[in-house]
A and B are shown apart, each in its own frame.
Chain A
């Protein structure tokens, strides 16, 4: 084997602490090394040409580049080697920057260490074998989970590029939280007016298969080849026959038993219902928990009035499987409700604000419904308790957010803006009313955001008080809000008619369940974890799965839509070719040796290890062993290290190679 060693100065980054000329000189004496040279910038074009030319001229068949971390330039140098005609896996990087020059200051010692590091890489590369990338076929179809604005945007982007999308929404209609909003900041355009055309577009799009009232139960497979199992919950309505005439809804005798989820509990709905008039699809659902027929066996009023015989009382949940190549998760958020403290939550509750106890202490989404023209008050600002117009209203920000004592450490990001919007909408509708906002800081970063908040303060005369509220209690029909004005240094008492709490945005309650079903990491709050917060914000560690919207962290609409388009673009990248190339450095099980203890299965962070049955000629199972799915394996080596019988080999990092590296150093 003829090995070439190329030592990079990285300007002064390495050259200042490591004598690169000496390293090249001493490296040439290592057995197996037939050529070595240093260069000021090995990653530059001329630097790469030094490698390419040396491979050709000196007939090298393996290369060691002593430079920065392989995270930086392994790709660059391997490509240079491949261009010059040697297998790229015969190029090894010796990190003499992050692990040497940057952390030492004695030139002589650092130089000695750099030589050691080069020797290690030389011993490894001697044992490298040429590898070829794994090619996996791609199913050019995407599963989008969640039909809020993020899911809708991703689905439309992918479908408009000409690829099929399966859009799964757990509620009876798509639209998500955005469909509940009255007007949106900072332009005050009507939320429904800008959203519903997109919802209709989704419904009519030939490339989008819409599954509402459905939930993803299981996802198997790997990038390019996922199989999703989706539970289509029983609507008790025949979707083919139903025309959405709404007669069943009108005639349903159950009118007040169920709280209307879409109206955030501020109204009731019949047992058979569509969430809101513009619902997509416009097909009702029967809520079996309140429907008289399911409870007593009598009624069937809906069936009697339905001219299309579309009522299916016996309909059952259906399990549907869909083959897809990529997945976009856009499951959104939940607003933190603070009346009862969930047992296993970090939340300690805000009993002192009386939310859940006082009808006129409401949360942000409830205010959206009250301010919405399609809401329970037809857009008139009225108190839920007695339907009178509140003349004094208090908004409290950061309820649950930025509160380590009682809630979450993080900032929910959108509350400063929506509170300013709420106060503005209130002032626009109640001209003689007074609006107060208790805030900690006003975080209005975004295009036209700060201007929007200033408008609320300066043009609409919303009174902003910096400080927290300690307590709210009812007295003679008023809500006494006791707080602190930290700028004036004085306690404040406001006798309000209504209080709106800007409660925190939290992860969906079942976020972790879905994460486990797909293999997506999540943070301590339940938000899904991206690979890199800056450079890979929409990807997760499971290849082929992307994130969009507030399931990753609190976000407003513009940000969710941008992220949704980014996720769509990432999903589309996969569809650019018929096959996907994957790193061949994956684990392989020695089937003869494997005893089937499945320690590897337990430790694999990517769910890449599966059980494989070994059968004899007669088809009888003779043993069950571990098998690594090369599509899922990320080559981390955990299984390799765990295997008690040394039956797992990590290609490119096998025991022989690793021990050779250790011996080279010892």
Chain B
């Protein structure tokens, strides 16, 4: 199986463990990952907060590049990239005037047939059977809270992915690894996103709520599918500790990392050792390779 790959900026920086673990896991699942050549910013945060046309034209350019590489499916691991790409495509195809403008800016016609998929959809496409065939370590001892964040399922009219209020496809994928998934209330709540830089107080407050609810419902790890969520939930736990005494740390893992652990890959191979919150205690419980 060959798939187009759009890593986006995070996966080359703060979220490189996501990229590392994905490439390892996908290789074991016989997925051939073809990165888009000369990709640019997806238009998230800065662009779409300041200039609408720019926020559409940037992802449109990436989609055109994918088309030129004959990639019918484009996998965007970052939830923000996924959202920008799929929303831009939707807006261009439903707004003729905007399409004209975008084509003027890109100096190229835009007729993209590339399908944009997120990480959960990719694992769905690979299939639970295939994933199960690679499992070496049973993760039965782990209780995970699957966190979808705000952008994976929304806006639902455009993503048409999972249930918008009560998504459950990540849990479905994880079920093959033996991981127990908990029922909790903050699956799709906001983590504070890019406010992490300018308004750390907001992010610590929102992230704390998410961590607390996961804990209250018996989780020992939060599984994420977005580098922004990961950095807020993982990196800000120190700030949470400072602000609110009585905070017990909880490891945050990418979906690809947890699947990698089940595949018998080591923390180092998956980049888990790069996280702020130490996950070794958790992984010891299932006797995973550290």
A residues with a Cβ closer than 8 A to B are 349-352, 471, 473-476, 480
Smallest beta-carbon distance B165→chain A, Å: 4
B163: interface (CB < 8 Å): yes
Report chain A residues within 8 Å CB of B68.
none
Chain A residues near B163 (CB, 8 Å)? Answer: 351
Assess whether A351 is in contact with B185, with CB atoms less than 8 Å apart. no
Q: Tell me whether B166 and A351 are in contact (CB under 8 A).
A: yes
Contacts of B199 in A (CB 8 A): none
Q: How far is the CB of B62 from chain A (nearest CB, A)?
A: 30
User: Is B213 at the interface (CB under 8 A from chain A)?
Assistant: yes
Which residues of chain B from 190 to 242 have a CB within 8 Å of any chain A CB?
A: 213, 216
Which residues of B does A touch, CB under 8 Å? 163-166, 185, 213, 216
Residues on B with C-beta less than 8 A from A473 are 185
Q: For A473, give the chain B residue with the smallest CB separation.
A: B185
| Nearest CB in chain A: distance from B148 CB, A | 13
Q: B209: shortest Cβ distance to chain A, in Å?
A: 10
The answer to whether B165 touches A351 (Cβ under 8 A) is: yes
Judged by DSSP, the binding face of B is: loop
Q: How far is the CA of A480 from the CA of B166 in the complex (A)?
A: 17
Q: List residues of chain B with CB within 8 A of the CB of A349.
A: 165
Closest 4 CB pairs of A and B: A473-B185, A351-B165, A352-B165, A351-B166
**Could you write out 16 A-B pairs with CB less than 8 Å apart?**
A349-B165, A350-B165, A351-B163, A351-B164, A351-B165, A351-B166, A352-B165, A352-B166, A471-B185, A473-B185, A474-B185, A475-B185, A475-B213, A475-B216, A476-B216, A480-B185
Complex CA–CA separation, A352 to B165 (angstroms)? 6
A473 CA to B127 CA in the complex, in Å?
Answer: 32
A46 to chain B, nearest CB (A): 62
User: Could you say which residues of chain B place their CB within 8 Å of the CB of A475?
Assistant: 185, 213, 216
In the bound complex, CA of A476 to CA of B217 (Å): 10
- With a cutoff of 8 Å between Cβ atoms, the chain B residues found around residue A471 in the complex are 185
Q: State the CA gap A480–B186 with chains docked (Å).
A: 12
For A476, what are the chain B residues with a Cβ–Cβ distance below 8 Å?
Answer: 216
Cβ contacts under 8 Å, A480 to chain B: 185
Q: Which residues of A contact B165 (CB under 8 A)?
A: 349-352
- Contacts beyond the supplied A351-B163, A352-B165, A475-B213: 12 A-B pairs with Cβ under 8 Å: A350-B165, A351-B164, A351-B165, A351-B166, A352-B166, A471-B185, A473-B185, A474-B185, A475-B185, A475-B216, A476-B216, A480-B185
Bound-complex Cα distance A301 to B165 (A):
48
Bound together, the chains give a CA A350 to CA B213 distance in angstroms of: 21
Most buried by B among A350, A471, A480: A471
A349 to B156, CA, bound (A): 13
Which residue from chain A places its CB closest to the CB of B189 in the assembled complex? Answer: A471
Q: How far is the CA of A474 from the CA of B213 in the complex (A)?
A: 10
Closest to B184 in A: A473
Chain A neighbourhood of B213, CB < 8 A: 475
Report the separation of the CA atoms of residues A473 and B212 in the bound assembly, to the nearest whole angstrom. Answer: 14
Cβ contacts under 8 Å, B216 to chain A: 475-476
In the complex, how many angstroms separate the beta carbon of B152 from the nearest chain A beta carbon?
A: 16
**Minimal beta-carbon separation of B38 from chain A (angstroms):** 39
Give the residue name and chain of the A residue nearest to B186 (CB).
A473
- CB A339 to nearest CB in B, in angstroms, measures 11
How far is it, in angstroms, between the C-alpha of A458 and the C-alpha of B44 when the chains are bound? 49
Closest chain A CB from B231 CB (angstroms): 24
Q: Which residues of B contact A352 (CB under 8 A)?
A: 165-166
Query: Hey, which chain A residues are within 8 Å of B185, CB to CB?
Result: 471, 473-475, 480
Q: Which residue of B lies closest to A353 (CB)?
A: B165
Report the nearest A residue to B166, measured CB to CB. Answer: A351
A663 to B185, CA, bound (A): 75
The answer for the CA separation of A46 and B195 in the assembled complex, in Å, is 82
The answer for the CA separation of A473 and B183 in the assembled complex, in Å, is: 11
Distance, CA A473 to CA B186, complexed state (A): 9
In whole angstroms, what is the CA distance A471 to B164 when docked? 12
